[in-house]
A and B are shown apart, each in its own frame.
Chain A
Amino acid sequence: MFIYILRRILWTPVLLIISTFFVFFMGTVAPGDPAELKLGNKATPERIEKLRDEMGLNEPLSTQYIKYISKAIKGDFGESYTYSGKKVSTIIGPKLLVTLQLNLIASFLAILIGIPLGFYAAKNHKTKLDPLIVLSSLIIYAIPVFLIAPLLILFFSVNLNWLPASGWDGIFSYSAILPTLTVGIPGSAIYIRHMRSSTLNVINEDYVRTAYSKGLTNFQITTKHIIRNALLPILTLLGFTIAGIFSGSLIVEIIYGIPGVARLSLDAIFQRDFPILTAFVMIGSVSLIFANLIIDLAYSFIDPRIRLSEKN
């Protein structure tokens, strides 16, 4: 157990270095000379060469990387090419916050709908309700955002005139409701499916039958034996949800006109503003690595079986 945790924790920095180096490398092999892009119309060969020296572009890649990463740890991702003179961090900070809020609330909604419904479907396995819930979750999961977003706008903002069709005034305003639904409801379908199958697995376990024959009440068995064990595999799913915390709502943001990560990163692609793009991918992958680490560690703490199997 101890060795497992130690190995896992020691591997994390290596993973961090490799993945950040890869992202950095992709940013440098990207088309276009950064100095040329930055100078724009004022570019002359001499000026470009001078700026390249100033920006440290003539140094070896490893030196550039170390310089970049030692700044990035302090939250400084360099300067943007297109918004001249502006720090990348000041540009992307507010956008990341918007996307983060939207996805957090949406994931919360997905879990809130998905886990009870999935459990309910498994509990009613032999009735008509189960295939109904499964099929509708499959259908909802597969609906393209391109369809569900305009349909929601059409219904709630054009026909009923209840909610604004687009824009963003913070997460606790009316304008956040439709985007949250658009991200959260298809997300809940995944939780329904996994919660259902893991509950079905647990219901047929021997210890559940034993609990019944001991004469425990239905409520006790459900809360203490079934739900607790069925929730374990959901932890892995939580990892995937966290993986999408910065990137799960790209299309939704575009369609609803939300000033989040999507618009900025797409603009960055077309304007070849790679520092912004690199910063996004880097922040995303670093948070993903840490999230996975925490989930793995949490697993071994929560599930005694994993602890025991490591011991033997």
Chain B
Amino acid sequence: MNILEKIQKFRNKIFERKLISICIFFILTIYLIGIFAPLLATHDYNSIDLYNTQSSPSKENILGTDKLGRDIFSRVVWGIQTTVIITFTTLLTGTLLLGVSMGLISGYFRGKTDVFVMRLGEIVSSFPEIFLIILLAATIRPRIVEFIYNLEDKLNLSGLANSGIIDYFVVGIALLPLSWFGTMRLIRGQVLVVRELEYIQASQAMGTSNFRIIFFHVLPNVISPVIVSASFGIGAIALSEVVLSFFGIGVQPPKPSLGVMINDVTSRGVTSVSVLRNHPEQLLPPIIIIWILILSWNVVGDYINEKMNPR
């Protein structure tokens, strides 16, 4: 019985490891594709070829072309890049910058600051997520467009507004409320424990400034759970970007995005069914990429959570 159990455990471990490695492999591949999109894309993502529309996969167009004759493979590759950029900017600004610093401040100073930050989080989480994101994306876009054009004039830059930076800003800011609170709560909990430790008291007694204590003594000791919360958030962020773009309020059409591609092919059920029957190569690539990406992040997030989450 004992040996049998051991074998079972070993088998489970192998199964787990294999699954995790496959998922990490998928994630790395997709992100590398996004980063090296300019090298991998065989065509310009926007070049329309009306003589060659809705063609099946061939040597020239690996995944065929859509109804405007644009190369689907290149569009998927560039769409992945958009997803990668938005995921990372949101992660950096929301989870890391806002979440971590708020968590540090509220956990370290406690008292009124803590109450304030926690209440703020409660307020943010009292909105239905998707609606808040949609409302934000819809209301801030014109302001950001204005801001970018002003910036262009001041800095004498041209092409800034056309580089897609507006879309990144809009989606990034709209996703902010979604991303910071979880990390903040996690960090705060850790800081509450760490701040009572003796070495912190020692440096307080030595007269070290709060700033220095927070960044040099507290931060390094609480940073590991951030990995947990980040790994959970990435899948959700990527999906939100796709959903926003699908609705037409995220990344805007000249820029390629997986959500825009799905929206191009289908916006009503019946048409998406006919596309699925007649030209599955137009609908499936973006969807399958999203599926694999989210599944992999969920599996990896679960695994990291199990190994690292302090209970």
Q: Interface on A for B, CB 8 Å cutoff?
A: 15, 18-19, 22-23, 26-27, 29-31, 126, 131, 135, 138-139, 141-144, 146-147, 149-151, 153-154, 158, 165-166, 243-244, 246-247, 250-251, 254-257, 265-266, 269-270, 274, 277-278, 280-281, 284-285, 288-289, 292
CB neighbours (8 Å) of B134 from chain A are: 265, 269, 277
How far is A70 from B204 in the complex, measured between Cα atoms in Å?
51
The answer to whether A142 and B291 touch (CB under 8 A), given A250-B130, A266-B248, A288-B128, is: yes
Q: Which listed residue (A19, A138, A139, A270) contacts B127, Cβ 8 A?
A: A19
**Quick one: which of B288-311 are within 8 Å of A by CB?**
288, 290-291, 294-295, 298-299, 302
16 residue pairs from A and B, CB less than 8 Å apart: A18-B123, A138-B299, A142-B294, A144-B242, A144-B290, A147-B287, A150-B269, A153-B272, A165-B269, A165-B273, A166-B268, A247-B129, A265-B131, A284-B131, A285-B126, A288-B126
CB neighbours (8 Å) of B275 from chain A are: 150
Q: Mark B241-256, 1 if CB is under 8 A from A, else 0.
A: 0110011110000000
CB neighbours (8 Å) of B214 from chain A are: none
Q: How far is the CB of A28 from chain B (nearest CB, A)?
A: 10
CB of B130 within 8 A of CB of A15, answer no
CB of B128 within 8 A of CB of A243, answer yes
Which residue on B lies nearest to A265, using beta carbons?
A: B134
Q: 13 additional contacts, CB 8 Å, given A146-B266, A153-B270?
A: A141-B298, A144-B239, A144-B294, A146-B262, A150-B266, A150-B276, A166-B269, A243-B128, A251-B246, A255-B266, A269-B249, A277-B135, A281-B127
Closest CB pairs A-B (n = 10): A142-B295, A284-B128, A31-B142, A142-B294, A30-B139, A269-B138, A150-B272, A247-B130, A166-B269, A247-B128
A26, A144, A265, A285: residue with the most chain B Cβ atoms closer than 10 Å: A144
Q: Mark B136-154, 1 if CB is under 8 A from A, else 0.
A: 1011011100000000000
Q: How far is the CB of A166 from chain B (nearest CB, A)?
A: 4
Which residue on B lies nearest to A134, using beta carbons?
A: B302
Which residue on B lies nearest to A244, using beta carbons?
A: B128
Q: Which listed residue (B123, B242, B291) contacts A143, Cβ 8 A?
A: B291
How far is A288 from B122 in the complex, measured between Cα atoms in Å?
11
Interface membership of B224, Cβ < 8 A: no
CB neighbours (8 Å) of A269 from chain B are: 134, 138, 249
Q: Which listed residue (A154, A257, A289) contacts B268, Cβ 8 A?
A: A257
Which residue on B lies nearest to A18, using beta carbons?
A: B123
Interface membership of B277, Cβ < 8 A: yes
Interface membership of B21, Cβ < 8 A: no
CB of B123 within 8 A of CB of A246, answer no
CB of A146 within 8 A of CB of B287, answer yes
CB of B123 within 8 A of CB of A280, answer no
The answer to whether A243 and B268 touch (CB under 8 A), given A139-B295, A277-B135, is: no
Interface membership of B132, Cβ < 8 A: yes
How far is A288 from B125 in the complex, measured between Cα atoms in Å?
9
